[in-house]
């Protein structure tokens, strides 16, 4: 008989919360002698079911259940910090109130005497480990505004809060506020930081020292050569200058008067007196004016003859004796006039005579004397001749200054032409032609005279003579040489014999002509196998000569195109079988050669004039006989199934794949491989099926019926490098890795359950897996743990499974960086993170790329500060800022969350009316409004910022303009851009709700972290009805009391087109 399966009697396993347990722990709680080797299933409700499978012929499995109960771990809460004002006392209840994480009550407190107090909650069995937490007590120092001081400045100088602060003594706290009392004093207030409540104040009195006054610049005018004193210079200054200053001669006609500054004024005052001299009158130095006889002249002509740089504007007097006197009157303070004299003389004009004519024979020469002899009217001698190159020559007599017009006359030269018989020529005729004297004359060039005579010199030349005409005496001759041109010769016809396919040249054709043909003729292919050679006639011959060469061709040998002969392994073949595989119409009668490499060459010998034999190749291939392998045996367990692949694996002898299997119905299967042409006999083999009756362990149960316990083990690695999901990772896919050990198979699926969603992936040969999951599921998962499961099935169908719970942490709150503008070159950088956490702050200085790294701990309210004047970075030091620059600040928490901000350091000496983007708003007004001084349309609605201010619309809001269009994607609903409130700060002093003015029907409520309403208003407005960190009174919060730094939550109720809407979120108050 086969025993019924026995899963035992249900039990209970009590564990301590968080402890893990194994299937063995569960099994130990069962009673009733349960069978081993069953399987466990986690029912995910705190119970685990144990199943023992029935063994045939039994059919009903048996199950039992173990209920797992957990004893809660003791909880002493999460460490906290109690911040008290310096000198205050506190109780254990105060300490307990700072613990978070819902600590158990009834624990005991111990003062560790180092500023910390430990709270211990004892463990309850079966838990054995007590839990402790610590509260650190910190004291907030009282505010210190320092001791009153005095700041002495120069009249007109400006000063900063930093200048006032340096006059305070007593080590005052930085970060206080200054108030100008308008009576020459300034009060500095350091606000008390909670829990301290009393602010501290001090006063700086400002006094002024008058500036020195050197008066207003003047001019002292003296007569050239006069002297003067410092009293004369001082008398020219205006503006009530101070006496007692010093004078300096600048050696450039100016004198500087300096009144020294009295401390604390540092800049002396100066003025300048320019000394000018009135020049004495100057009538110049006497001169002579030489004029051409009969010319007139003007006073300007007379003035031009004076030297010594005379003054203009004087008067001229004609003395009637050929002289003229020039007088320049003296100018006050000079009193003596100055005079000079110009004497006038006359010059006689030039005479070149009257024009003439000189006649010469062509080619004769002449000189200037021949030309001068043809002039009449007593011309002046010794002057210049000019050949005009047109047969005339000009004689010029130059005028003598002051006469300016030269005199000239012309002599025209005429020539008698010489006889011209032309230039020798050549008459070319065709061999045997006749010619005339006119033919000879036509070959002369050089425009020969007609009417001459010809003489045949009987040597192939003919002379042409033209007689000279008086006064010329020498006849002129020329010669024409007669030459004959030979007739063209193309030779006698010939024949050129070539091999088919060969090419030939015109030279090959020419070589077949006989009869000494002329070279240089042209060939024409007549396309009928003949080529015509033409020798063109040379002028004066007109008939070309031709001959013909006939081309004949000898066929090339043809061994055909290579082929392939496919035979079955072991078959024989003949040359005729090989020849039949050639294509391309091969010639018969060739010879065959066996190349002994499976190829055979066929050769056809060439016939003259062809010289190259032709060969082709036939490759002999053999088709392998089909191989079904050698018979085999497949041993199986009863009831097992098998595939053709299982059968094939039992064949030996390297059988061919792709055959067919046939079940013979008698426990055998036949495998057949078909023959491939040209082979025609198929091959077959057989596999016999046998049942496995082996009992390896001799227990009376054959191996096929033995059951194997399968125990895989799964583990999950840290979710991220630090097992913390940060803000960036929460929006990405996160890869979860882990390993499976024990029993598993490659490709088994691991399933991860996160936020009720399943993610699956296979394991590799090493048992490793990597599965990408949604970061948002990790964040939204209520218990921040991952349930991983693996189920594996062995080849003999045995099943095993395992699961694991992996916990992780979520931190998606990035630290906050405060952005603002300041004139302080050593600003205090600040922001907000989680309470008591470590932040890595990187400060990049402008575009320089220089970065400073600070490691900062937030306080109990999450506030962090960097005092750039005293806090030392991990690298380098904070630089001197000059000029304006932007600090780019990045804060990163331990989880890798990142917050950024900017601090703009500005200088008060920048021009207030500069308009960098030409939008009609000065840069300083844009800085005040919050618009971009380098972008004429900050909100991108198509309307310039200056026009929006003029229209009364908001240049920072793309949905508020006259005629503009919001850019694509603009947020025209309300939203919160900066969730930071710094009371009394010029930039972030109130909670700004973007676009709230568009929805006047609104209500805003603000709650502290305990859900207590601390502020409420209807009709919220960013300028007049905004939250500034003061309480409006509710339960424990007093009206107008300053709310402490920390996190607050807001509800914004507003109406959009009749529809009620709600926007919720949180903000930070930083004091």
Check residue 701 and give its pLDDT: 75
Check residue 336 and give its pLDDT: 84
Q: Which positions ≥6 away from 147 have C-beta within 8 Å? A: 168, 169, 170, 172, 202
Q: What are phi and psi of 857, to 5 degrees?
A: -105, 130
**Is-contact 376 354, C-beta < 8 A?**
yes
Nearest-CA neighbor of 1032 among 1019, 1044, 1014, 1047?
Answer: 1014
Check residue 1032 and give its pLDDT: 74
Question: Is it the case that residue 911 has pLDDT exceeding 80?
Answer: no
Enumerate the β-bridge partners of residue 120.
108, 132
What is the per-residue pLDDT across 648-694, written as a single tens digit (0 to 9) for each?
A: 999 999 999 999 999 999 989 999 999 988 888 899 999 999 888 88
Please give the full DSSP string across 532-567, using - where no structure is assigned: EEEEPPPTT----EEEEEEEEEEPPP---B-EEEEE
CA distance 465 to 476: 6
Question: Is it the case that residue 1035 has pLDDT exceeding 60?
Answer: no
Task: Give the C-alpha distances (Å, rounded to integers) separating 929 from 366, 374, 888, 948.
Answer: 101, 102, 22, 12
Would you state the torsion angle of the CA atoms of residues 298, 303, 305, 310, taken in this order, to the nearest 10 degrees? 180
**353: burial class by Cβ within 10 Å (0-12, 13-18, 19+)?**
buried
Per the listing, tokens 């690695």 go with 717
By DSSP bridging, strand 768-774 and strand 757-762 are: unpaired
Q: Which positions ≥6 away from 570 have C-beta within 8 Å? A: none
CA distance 1065 to 184: 46
Check residue 98 and give its pLDDT: 93
- Band (pLDDT 50/70/90 cuts) for residue 998 is confident
Q: Which two tokens stand for residue 976?
A: 């919160």
Q: Which two tokens stand for residue 85?
A: 């004002």
By DSSP bridging, strand 461-466 and strand 476-485 are: antiparallel
Per the listing, tokens 């600003």 go with 827
715 alpha-carbon distance from chain centroid = 45
**Is-contact 672 662, C-beta < 8 A?**
yes
What is the average pLDDT value for the chain, to the nearest integer?
A: 89
CA distance 672 to 660: 5
Q: Which positions ≥6 away from 959 have C-beta within 8 Å? A: 941, 966, 970, 972, 995, 998
Check residue 190 and give its pLDDT: 93
What is the per-residue pLDDT across 30-85, written as a single tens digit (0 to 9) for each?
A: 999 999 999 999 999 999 999 999 998 889 999 999 999 988 899 999 999 998 88
Question: Is it the case that residue 105 has pLDDT exceeding 90?
Answer: yes
**Is-contact 736 770, C-beta < 8 A?**
yes
Residue 251 or 225, more confident: 251
CA distance 480 to 465: 12
CA distance 1019 to 993: 12
Strand order through the sheet with 563-568: 563-568, 614-623, 599-604, 591-594
What is the per-residue pLDDT across 499-519, written as a single tens digit (0 to 9) for each?
A: 888 889 999 999 999 999 999
Question: Is it the case that residue 628 has pLDDT exceeding 60?
Answer: yes
Check residue 868 and give its pLDDT: 93
Check residue 795 and give its pLDDT: 66
> DSSP class of residue 855?
E
All structural domains of the chain: 11-71 (no CATH), 80-140 (no CATH), 149-209 (no CATH), 218-278 (no CATH), 287-347 (no CATH), 356-416 (no CATH), 425-485 (no CATH), 494-554 (no CATH), 563-623 (no CATH), 632-704 (no CATH), 708-810 (2.60.40.10), 973-1071 (2.60.40)
CA distance 588 to 741: 78
What is the per-residue pLDDT across 563-591, written as a single tens digit (0 to 9) for each?
A: 999 988 878 899 999 999 999 999 999 99
Q: What are phi and psi of 923, to 5 degrees?
A: -60, -35
Check residue 848 and give its pLDDT: 81
CA distance 532 to 551: 11
CA distance 976 to 356: 112
Cis status, amide bond into 402, omega within 30 of 0: yes
Question: Is it the case that residue 912 has pLDDT exceeding 50?
Answer: no
391 alpha-carbon distance from chain centroid = 81
Check residue 969 and give its pLDDT: 65
Check residue 225 and give its pLDDT: 81
Nearest-CA neighbor of 707 among 715, 716, 697?
Answer: 697
What is the per-residue pLDDT across 926-942, written as a single tens digit (0 to 9) for each?
A: 887 889 989 999 888 88
What is the per-residue pLDDT across 215-242, written as a single tens digit (0 to 9) for each?
A: 999 998 888 888 899 989 999 999 999 9
CA distance 432 to 460: 14
CA distance 822 to 832: 19
Task: Give the C-alpha distances (Å, rounded to integers) separating 802 from 536, 688, 716.
Answer: 108, 40, 12
Coil, strand or helix at 231: helix
Q: Which two tokens stand for residue 850?
A: 């220089």
Give percent of the chain with pLDDT exceeding 90: 57
- Band (pLDDT 50/70/90 cuts) for residue 279 is confident
Mean pLDDT along residues 869-873: 93
Question: Is it the case that residue 258 has pLDDT exceeding 70?
Answer: yes
Check residue 971 and give its pLDDT: 66
CA distance 451 to 967: 103
Nearest-CA neighbor of 154 among 264, 269, 262?
Answer: 264
Question: Is it the case that residue 453 has pLDDT exceeding 60?
Answer: yes
Nearest-CA neighbor of 224 among 303, 328, 336, 308?
Answer: 336
Please give the full DSSP string across 9-47, using - where no structure is assigned: B-EEEEEETT----HHHHHHT-BS-PPSS-EEEE-SSSE
CA distance 133 to 117: 8
- Band (pLDDT 50/70/90 cuts) for residue 1036 is very low
What is the CB neighbour count within 10 angstroms for residue 24? 8
Question: Is it the case that residue 470 has pLDDT exceeding 80?
Answer: no
Mean pLDDT along residues 373-395: 91
**Is-contact 327 319, C-beta < 8 A?**
no
Check residue 1034 and give its pLDDT: 46
CA distance 700 to 698: 6
Per the listing, tokens 């650190």 go with 136
What is the CB neighbour count within 10 angstroms for residue 737? 14
Question: Is it the case that residue 923 has pLDDT exceeding 60?
Answer: yes
Question: Is it the case that residue 21 has pLDDT exceeding 60?
Answer: yes
CA distance 414 to 400: 33
Say whether pTM exceeds 0.85: no
**Is-contact 725 808, C-beta < 8 A?**
yes
**Is-contact 687 669, C-beta < 8 A?**
yes
Lowest mean pLDDT among 808-817, 921-930, 960-969: 960-969
Which ranges of 6-149 does DSSP label H, i.e. alpha helix? 23-28, 92-96
Which ranges of 763-871 does DSSP label H, i.e. alpha helix? 775-780
Question: Is it the case that residue 344 has pLDDT exceeding 90?
Answer: no
Mean pLDDT along residues 635-655: 89
What is the CB neighbour count within 10 angstroms for residue 7? 20
Mean pLDDT along residues 166-177: 93
Question: Is it the case that residue 907 has pLDDT exceeding 80?
Answer: no
Nearest-CA neighbor of 534 among 552, 517, 551?
Answer: 517
> DSSP class of residue 996?
G
CA distance 890 to 898: 7
Question: Is it the case that residue 549 has pLDDT exceeding 60?
Answer: yes
Check residue 908 and give its pLDDT: 60
């Amino acid at each position: 008989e086969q025993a019924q399966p026995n899963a035992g009697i249900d039990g209970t396993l009590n564990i301590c919360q968080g402890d893990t347990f194994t299937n063995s722990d569960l099994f130990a709680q069962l009673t009733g002698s349960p069978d081993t080797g069953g399987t466990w299933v986690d029912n995910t409700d705190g119970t685990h079911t144990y199943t023992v499978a029935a063994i045939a012929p039994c059919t009903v499995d048996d199950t039992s259940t173990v209920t797992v109960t957990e004893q809660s771990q003791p909880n002493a809460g999460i460490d906290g910090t109690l911040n008290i004002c310096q000198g205050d006392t506190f109780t254990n209840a105060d300490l307990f109130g700072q613990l978070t994480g819902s600590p158990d009550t009834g624990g005991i407190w111990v003062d560790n005497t180092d500023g910390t107090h430990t709270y211990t909650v004892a463990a309850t069995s079966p838990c054995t480990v007590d839990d402790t937490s610590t509260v650190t007590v910190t004291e907030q120092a009282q505010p210190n505004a320092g001791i009153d001081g005095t700041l002495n400045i120069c009249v007109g100088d400006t000063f900063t809060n930093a200048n006032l602060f340096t006059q305070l003594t007593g080590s005052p706290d930085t970060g206080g506020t200054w108030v100008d009392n308008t009576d020459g004093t300034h009060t500095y207030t350091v606000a008390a930081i909670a829990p301290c409540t009393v602010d501290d104040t001090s006063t700086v009195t400002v006094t002024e020292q008058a500036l020195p006054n050197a008066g207003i610049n003047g001019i002292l005018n003296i007569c050239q050569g006069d002297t003067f004193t410092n009293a004369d210079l001082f008398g020219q200054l205006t503006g009530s200058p101070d006496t007692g200053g010093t004078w300096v001669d600048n050696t450039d006609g100016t004198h500087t008067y300096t009144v020294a500054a009295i401390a604390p004024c540092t800049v002396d005052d100066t003025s300048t007196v320019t000394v000018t001299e009135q020049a004495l009158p100057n009538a110049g130095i006497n001169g002579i004016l030489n004029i051409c006889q009969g010319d007139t002249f003007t006073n300007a002509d007379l003035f031009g003859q004076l030297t010594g740089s005379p003054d203009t504007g004087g008067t001229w007097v004609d003395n009637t004796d050929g002289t003229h006197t020039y007088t320049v009157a003296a100018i006050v303070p000079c009193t003596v006039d100055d005079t000079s004299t110009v004497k006038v003389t006359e010059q006689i004009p030039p005479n070149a005579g009257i024009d003439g004519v000189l006649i010469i024979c062509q080619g004769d020469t002449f000189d200037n004397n021949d030309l001068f002899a043809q002039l009449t009217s007593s011309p002046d001698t010794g002057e210049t001749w000019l050949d005009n190159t047109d047969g005339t020559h000009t004689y010029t007599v130059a005028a003598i200054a002051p006469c300016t017009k030269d005199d000239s006359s012309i002599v025209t030269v005429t020539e008698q032409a010489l006889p011209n018989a032309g230039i020798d020529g050549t008459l070319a005729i065709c061999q045997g032609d006749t010619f005339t004297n006119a033919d000879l004359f036509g070959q002369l060039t050089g425009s020969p005279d007609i009417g001459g005579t010809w003489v045949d010199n009987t040597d192939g030349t003919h002379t042409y003579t033209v007689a000279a005409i008086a006064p010329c005496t020498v006849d002129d001759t020329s010669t024409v040489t007669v030459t004959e041109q030979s007739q063209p010769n193309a030779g006698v016809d010939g024949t050129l014999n070539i091999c088919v396919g060969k090419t030939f040249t015109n030279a090959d054709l020419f070589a077949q002509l006989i009869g000494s043909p002329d070279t240089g003729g042209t060939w024409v292919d007549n396309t009928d196998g003949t080529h015509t050679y033409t020798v063109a006639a040379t002028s004066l011959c007109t008939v070309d000569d031709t001959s013909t060469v006939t081309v004949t061709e000898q066929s090339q040998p043809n061994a055909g195109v290579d082929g392939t002969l496919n035979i079955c392994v072991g078959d024989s073949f003949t040359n005729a079988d090989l020849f039949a595989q050639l294509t391309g119409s091969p010639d018969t009668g060739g010879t065959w050669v066996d190349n002994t490499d499976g190829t055979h060459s066929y050769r056809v010998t060439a016939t003259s004039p062809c010289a190259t034999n032709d060969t082709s190749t036939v490759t002999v291939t053999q088709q392998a006989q089909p191989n079904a392998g050698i018979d085999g045996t497949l041993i199986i367990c009863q009831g097992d199934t098998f595939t053709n692949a299982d059968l094939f694996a039992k064949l030996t002898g390297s059988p061919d794949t792709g055959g067919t299997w046939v079940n013979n119905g008698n426990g055998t299967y036949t495998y057949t491989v078909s023959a491939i042409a040209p082979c025609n006999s198929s091959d077959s083999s057989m596999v016999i099926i046998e049942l496995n009756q082996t009992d390896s362990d001799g227990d009376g149960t054959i191996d096929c019926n033995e059951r194997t316990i399968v125990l895989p083990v799964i583990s999950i690695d840290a979710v991220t490098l630090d097992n913390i999901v940060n803000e960036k990772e929460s929006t990405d896919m996160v890869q979860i890795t882990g390993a499976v050990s024990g029993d598993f198979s490659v490709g088994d699926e691991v399933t991860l359950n996160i936020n009720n969603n399943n993610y699956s992936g296979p394991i590799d040969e090493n048992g490793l897996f990597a599965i990408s999951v949604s970061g948002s599921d990790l964040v939204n998962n209520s218990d921040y743990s991952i349930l991983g499961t693996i189920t594996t099935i062995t080849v003999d169908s045995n099943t095993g499974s395992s699961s694991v719970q992996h916990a992780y942490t979520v931190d998606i709150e990035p630290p906050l960086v405060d952005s603002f503008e300041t004139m302080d070159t050593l600003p205090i950088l600040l922001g907000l993170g989680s309470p008591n956490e470590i932040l890595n702050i990187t400060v990049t200085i402008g575009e320089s790329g220089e970065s400073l790294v600070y490691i900062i701990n937030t306080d109990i309210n999450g506030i962090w500060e960097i005092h750039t004047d005293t806090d030392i970075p991990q690298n380098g030091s904070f630089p001197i800022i000059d000029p304006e620059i932007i600090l780019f600040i990045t804060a990163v928490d331990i989880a890798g969350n990142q917050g950024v901000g900017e601090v703009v350091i500005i200088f008060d000496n920048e021009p207030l009316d500069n308009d960098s983007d030409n939008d009609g708003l000065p840069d300083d007004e844009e800085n005040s409004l919050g618009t971009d001084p380098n972008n004429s349309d900050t909100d991108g609605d198509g309307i310039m910022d200056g026009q929006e201010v003029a229209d009364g619309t908001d240049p920072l809001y793309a949905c508020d303009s006259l005629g503009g269009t919001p850019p694509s994607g603009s947020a025209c609903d309300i939203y919160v851009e900066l969730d930071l409130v710094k009371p009394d700060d010029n930039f972030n002093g109130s909670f700004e709700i973007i676009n709230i003015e568009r929805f006047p029907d609104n209500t805003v409520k603000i709650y502290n972290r305990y859900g207590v309403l601390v502020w409420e208003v209807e009709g919220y407005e960013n300028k007049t009805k905004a939250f500034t960190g003061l309480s409006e009174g509710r339960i424990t919060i007093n009206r107008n009391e300053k709310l402490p730094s920390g996190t607050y939550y807001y509800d914004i109720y507003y109406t959009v087109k009749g529809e009620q809407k709600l926007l919720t979120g949180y903000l930070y108050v930083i004091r």
